[in-house]
Amino acid sequence: MSEVTIEDLPALAAGAHLLMSGAGQADIEGVLHWVSALLAEHGPVPLVRPDDVPEDTVCAAVGLVGSVTAQAELPMAGDEPERAVRALEARLGTQLGAVTVLDTATVNALLPVAAAALLGLPLVDCDGMGRVFPLIHQTSYALAGVPLTPLAAVGATGDTVVLDAADERAERLLRAAVNVSGGWLFTALYPTTTGTLPRAGIVGAVSRALAVGRALLDAADVDDIAVRLAAQTASRVLGTGRVVDLEHRTRPADAHYPAHPSSIVVRTHAQPVRSIRLEAQNELLLALVDGALAAAVPDVICLIDPHDGSVIDIEAVTVGREVQVVTVPAAPVWHTPQGLALVGPRAFGFPIRHPREGRVRHPGEVRS
Amino acid sequence: MLRPEVALRIGARLSGRGIRAVLADEGQVLARSTGEGARAPGSVVRELSGLAPAPVRSVTFDISDPLLDAARRDADPVSVLRVLPRPAHTAALAGHPSPTLRSFVAHRAAVRGGHDLFGTALAPLDLPAAVEAAHGARELGLGAVAVIATGAVGAAGHERAVAEAVLEAVPELRVCLSHEVGGVGLLMRETAAVFNAVLLPAAGRLVDRCRRAAGSLPCWFATSDGGRVSAERLRALPVLGLEAKWAMTLLGAAALHGHHTAAIVARSDEVCTIGEVRDGLPQVAADLPGSLGVRLAAPQPVLTLVGRETFAAHRSRWLPGSPEIPAVFTDGDEDPATVGAACCPPTAWLDIVVHADTTDDMRRRQRDTEERARGMLALSGAAPGSERIAESTATALSYVRAGTYRLRVRATARAAT
């Protein structure tokens, strides 16, 4: 057992930023300030492995569902985690003995720490994504058969939603509630027991985000970041260059996903000059180097500023901006056939196979 | 030798009690002057005007240094009024994360109201509570209140309604609204609105001083996005000029070397400050911490600071050697910021959130925003017909309703003669 301290929070936030795969992280300073104040008041949060607590300990994943940009515009009031968990407990008829994490990306790496501090509960070192995906049923919890509901969600308006539904229905119903609640809801979902987490969760996800964050914060420069990240995560640098094109609505969108697709084209500096095309919808989903698939969801694809080593969000990308394109392998569960069926390229509308599924045939390629 | 279509302008930079100024035709410097003391700006402008071989078209002042001094030294605290559906339950969320920003705020209140990103009201606006908060601020002897409503970037009605009610009830209180600077993110707009409120008195004094110095010449003020605005706009929104020095430095360095696009390396004793100019405008972004260390909604230059030795050892990391982007080095002796002020163009910047159901709808919203930006240029003395869109980006916002875009439009124009 270890703990999350105030001193850990900047590293946790930095690691979570990289694991967002390009999605926005607009108000991390406000959330960081709040969680720091909570830890100053309540002390460090115990960070436990699933087998550190009795296996019948009731737990639920917690996190923000919706847009971090909307959350930056409409900050939390501060009572949402406690209200959401209490509403879920009332629906379950039992109290939680621990909280775990929906995804260790964006503010969702920090908010479970806030929830644990407010509720006086341990935080289980585990999440359901190992990064972020757009839909709440795209989790290892769902893959292992843990029901998504009942769930309870509370927004900045103070409304409380308690939902019982099948996983995909829950996603649609909750998304509708998100859209009328200012763009986000703090949600407690996937109620289960800690005994199920070793097979259903991505154990060690919080520690991994912390390690990634320390690699980013401790590095001397962008070359050092590449070395440290590779050591921690087996990441690869796909290229460094300048954004030369930015297009939106570049392909038909699946109506189940929030946001519209867009594309970013990077021309690399090094010889031979390469064109890296990045396909995005909420997150960066595909990286094609000179037309050849180089990385694909569920692996994390992210952009790093080659000048100062900071992570760049898709929303901050402008034509002319210098970027380094990096890919980080996803948790092993996502490279299984079941994992790729849920969150591989085809789940996002790309008629291609993930590199782990075997050699990819490119459009126009002649079968020999 | 002057160009046939000469466009002589004076660029001046106030710093401490001193002023440095140039008379320039684009990047060609014809004369320089410096002065110190209360009367120096007028003397310097008159001296350079007297040296001009043709009529001087305008004078542009960069007052970022005295604005920063005012913020650091003699700023009066202000009140902050947030408009949200529910007030924060803890002090950490009720306040601002930046200690610097908090040091400017002597009174803070939150009232019900606000909109979501799509322009739908989240709660009815509690105007009586807003007026009560304004009275509270006035009773503390405060002179200005910054009003920040959630969603004001897309629906500013609640901010405007608060301003009207407060000004009617407490007319001696000055009101700064966050949507006037724009940008997405309540905290970043709060920073901009608070800086505006804090700097109102200093900006008023500086603007008056510069206008007197300009005499009969049209008088403009350099902005952090590499452009210029009118005296009245800077008086109302001084945050726009807070980081002008570096924007003007980048612009001036490029102009002095005859480039419209260049990577600029400004060398001081130990540090290299690196920025970029593209098509005659400095590269800017809207969410950067500026000289005061607080992230700000107003655009400001994208700068990288690196030690001189590190830069020398890894030069290609910052200057990739692209043939389209030549490198320009400046050591400060040329005082490029004054040259930048002399040649900075009228600019406009819009950073908003829109919703569009179809690609055509989104393009139409983007075109409308571009037209709005072109229209804003007229207020900064743009030559009719010379307006152009320098940057227009639509980015799909993640994890919200499909069709929600952040539009960022940057427009510029030739200065009218």
- Residue A365 lies inside a defined structural domain of this protein: no
CATH pick for B78-188 out of 3.40.50, 1.10.3470, 1.10.260, 3.40.1620: 3.40.50
pLDDT at position A255, please?
55
Closest chain B residue to A21, measured at CA: B398
- Do residues A146 and A265 share a domain? no
- What is the least distance, in Å, from the CA of A357 to any CA of chain B? 28
Q: Does A144 touch chain B (CB under 8 A)?
A: no
Task: Quickly state the pLDDT bin for B105 (edges 50, 70, 90).
Answer: very high
Per-10-residue mean pLDDT for chain A, 368 residues long?
93 94 77 97 98 97 93 95 98 98 95 98 98 94 97 96 93 93 96 98 97 94 92 95 78 57 88 92 92 96 91 84 94 96 93 77 41
- Do residues A201 and A241 share a domain? no
At residue B116, does pLDDT exceed 70?
Answer: yes
Q: List CB contacts of B99: < 8 A, sequence separation 6 or more.
A: none
Closest chain B residue to A223, measured at CA: B317
- Residue A220 lies inside a defined structural domain of this protein: no
CA separation, residue A147 to residues A142, A164, A188 (Å): 6, 10, 12
- Do residues A253 and A170 share a domain? no
Q: Dmax over Cα atoms in chain A, in whole Å?
A: 67
Which CATH number characterizes residue A291's domain?
2.40.390
Determine the distance from the C-alpha atom of residue A102 to the mean position of all C-alpha atoms in its chain, rounded to a whole number: 8
- Residue A198 lies inside a defined structural domain of this protein: yes
Q: Which residues between 174 and 203 in chain A have a beta carbon less than 8 angstroms from any beta carbon of chain B?
A: 179-183
- Do residues A327 and A281 share a domain? yes
Q: What mean pLDDT value characterizes chain B?
A: 91
Q: Which residue among B84, B120, B399 places its CB closest to the CB of A282?
A: B399
Q: Which residue among A66, A73, A182 places its CB closest to the CB of B399?
A: A66
pLDDT tens digits for range B217-255: 999 999 999 999 999 999 999 999 999 999 999 999 999
- What is the least distance, in Å, from the CA of A13 to any CA of chain B? 15
- Do residues A136 and A240 share a domain? no
CA separation, residue A284 to residues A287, A322, A335 (Å): 8, 17, 17
Residue with tokens 């694909």: A296
pLDDT at position A361, please?
46
- What is the least distance, in Å, from the CA of B248 to any CA of chain A? 20
Q: Does B274 touch chain A (CB under 8 A)?
A: yes
pLDDT at position A256, please?
59
At residue B3, does pLDDT exceed 70?
Answer: no
With an 8 Å Cβ cutoff, are B151 and A242 in contact?
A: no
- Do residues A302 and A171 share a domain? no
Closest chain B residue to A72, measured at CA: B185
Q: Does B216 touch chain A (CB under 8 A)?
A: no
Residues B380-408: what's their mean pLDDT?
84
* Per-residue three-class SS string for chain B: CCCCCCCEEEEEEEECCEEEEEEEECCEEEEEEEEECCCHHHHHHHHHHHHCCCCEEEEEEECHHHHHHHHHHCCCCEEEEEEECCCCCCHHHHCCCCHHHHHCEEEEEEEECCECCCCCECCCCCHHHHHHHHHHHHHCCCCEEEEEECCCCCCCHHHHHHHHHHHHHCCCCEEEEHHHCCCCCHHHHHHHHHHHHHHHHHHHHHHHHHHHHHCCCCEEEECCCCCEEEHHHHHHCHHHHCCHHHHHHHHHHHHHCCCCCEEEEEECCCEEEEEEEECCEECEECCCECCCCCECCCCEECCEEEEHHHHHHCHHHHCCCCCCCCEEEECCCCCHHHHHHHHCCEEEEEEEEEECCCHHHHHHHHHHHHHHHHHHHHHHCECCCCCEEEEEEEEECCCCCCCEEEEEEEEECCECC
Query: To 10 degrees, the CA torsion angle through A111, A114, A116, A117?
Result: 170
Q: Does B91 touch chain A (CB under 8 A)?
A: yes
Rounded CA gap, B393 and B240, in Å? 21
- Do residues A198 and A70 share a domain? yes
- Do residues A47 and A156 share a domain? yes
- What is the least distance, in Å, from the CA of B19 to any CA of chain A? 34
With an 8 Å Cβ cutoff, are A27 and B93 in contact?
A: no
With an 8 Å Cβ cutoff, are A36 and B394 in contact?
A: no
Q: Does B178 touch chain A (CB under 8 A)?
A: no
Q: Does A242 touch chain B (CB under 8 A)?
A: yes
Q: How many domains does chain A divide into? A: 2
- Residue A356 lies inside a defined structural domain of this protein: no
Q: Does B362 touch chain A (CB under 8 A)?
A: yes
- What is the least distance, in Å, from the CA of B23 to any CA of chain A? 32
**Domain positions in chain B:** 78-188, 347-412
pLDDT at position A19, please?
93
With an 8 Å Cβ cutoff, are A78 and B92 in contact?
A: yes
Higher pLDDT, B353 or A265: A265
- Residue A216 lies inside a defined structural domain of this protein: no
With an 8 Å Cβ cutoff, are A33 and B400 in contact?
A: no
Residues of A within 8 A of B304 (CB-CB) are 307-308
Closest chain A residue to B409, measured at CA: A318
With an 8 Å Cβ cutoff, are A34 and B90 in contact?
A: yes
Residues B110-121: what's their mean pLDDT?
94
Rounded CA gap, A286 and A276, in Å? 10
With an 8 Å Cβ cutoff, are B398 and A306 in contact?
A: no
Q: Does B99 touch chain A (CB under 8 A)?
A: no
CB atoms within 10 A of CB B298: 29
Closest chain B residue to A157, measured at CA: B85
With an 8 Å Cβ cutoff, are A269 and B400 in contact?
A: no
Task: Quickly state the pLDDT bin for B313 (edges 50, 70, 90).
Answer: confident
CA separation, residue A157 to residues B123, B287, B301 (Å): 8, 26, 36
- Do residues A23 and A115 share a domain? yes
- What is the least distance, in Å, from the CA of A103 to any CA of chain B? 14
Cβ(B190)–Cβ(B179) below 8 Å:
no
pLDDT tens digits for range B253-290: 999 999 999 999 999 888 999 999 998 999 998 888 88
pLDDT at position B363, please?
87
pLDDT at position A251, please?
55
Which CATH number characterizes residue A149's domain?
3.40.1610.10
Q: Which residue among B90, B97, B278 places its CB closest to the CB of A78?
A: B90
Closest chain B residue to A64, measured at CA: B399
CA separation, residue B7 to residues A240, B2, B10, B30, B52 (Å): 41, 9, 10, 12, 11
Domain span holding position A327: 235-350
Tokens representing A112? Answer: 């479970």
Q: Which residue among B90, B283, B400 places its CB closest to the CB of A183?
A: B400
Q: Which residue pairs, CB below 8 angstroms and at least 24 apart, start in A350-356?
A: A350/A279, A350/A285, A350/A286, A350/A296, A352/A286, A352/A293, A352/A296, A354/A296, A354/A297, A354/A298, A355/A293, A355/A295, A355/A296
**Interface ipTM > 0.95:** no
Query: To 10 degrees, the CA torsion angle through A12, A18, A23, A25?
Result: 40
Residue with tokens 């930046």: B98
- Do residues A167 and A258 share a domain? no
Closest chain B residue to A178, measured at CA: B400
- Do residues A285 and A155 share a domain? no
Residues of B within 8 A of A283 (CB-CB) are 398
- What is the least distance, in Å, from the CA of A252 to any CA of chain B? 11
pLDDT at position A246, please?
83
- What is the least distance, in Å, from the CA of B43 to any CA of chain A? 42
- Do residues A298 and A171 share a domain? no
pLDDT at position B314, please?
81
